[in-house]
Amino acid sequence: MKQWHMKVVAGMAISAFSVSAATDAVAGATPPVDTTAKVLSRQSADGKDYVVTEITIAPGGSTGWHTHQGEVYGLVKQGVLTHYGSDCRHDGQYGGGQPITDPSGADHVHNARNLGATPVVLDVTYVDPAGAPTSDSAPNPGCNFE
C-alpha cells in the first residue's frame, strides 16, 4: 500500500485547515493550495490526540510539502489523489474507496496533489502525540512543482 499525507493548519479557508497550528515559519515552506478541511471529531487519551477530518482538495490544489509526527490513516471518498515523495517522483495514486496511510518523521517529506477535474475528498484520522500538529510544513525539496 502506498502512502500519502495531508497538511493541517489553524483556521479554515483555502490553504488552511481547522485542526491545530502548523503555521510555524519554515524557511521555504510550501503552503497548501485550494485545500480545506472539516474536523469531524477530536479526542485525547493516553498521551495521544485522535483527530478525524474530512479534507477536500480542489482541482489543481495540493497539500504543500510537509511531514507528520504521528500516524495517518485515510480513505479516498471521491476523486484521485496523486502523491509525490521528496525525490520528486510520483509514488502513488489513489482513487475512490482506496485506503491511504503515511509514515511519520521528518525524513518522510511529501506532497499530495489533485491533478484531476473533480475535487478529491478524503476522510483522514490522525493519531498524534498529545498537542502535536497533524502535520509540519517543509520546504520544497527541489521539485519543479509546488
pLDDT, tens only, 67-117: 999 999 999 999 999 999 999 999 999 999 999 998 899 999 999 999 999
1 occurs within a structural domain: no
**Count, residues in the chain:** 146
69 occurs within a structural domain: yes
8 occurs within a structural domain: no
CATH assignment of the domain containing 60: 2.60.120.10
Angle at 115 between CA 111 and CA 117, to 5 degrees: 145
Give the domain range for residue 133.
33-137
75 occurs within a structural domain: yes
pTM (2 d.p.): 0.80
121 occurs within a structural domain: yes
Environment class of 90 (CB within 10 Å of its CB; exposed 0-12, middle 13-18, buried 19+): exposed
Report how far residue 123's alpha carbon sits from residue 25's, in angstroms, rounded to the nearest whole number.
27
Number of domains in the chain: 1
77 occurs within a structural domain: yes
Q: Which residues contact 116 (CB under 8 A, 6 or more apart)?
A: 59, 79, 80
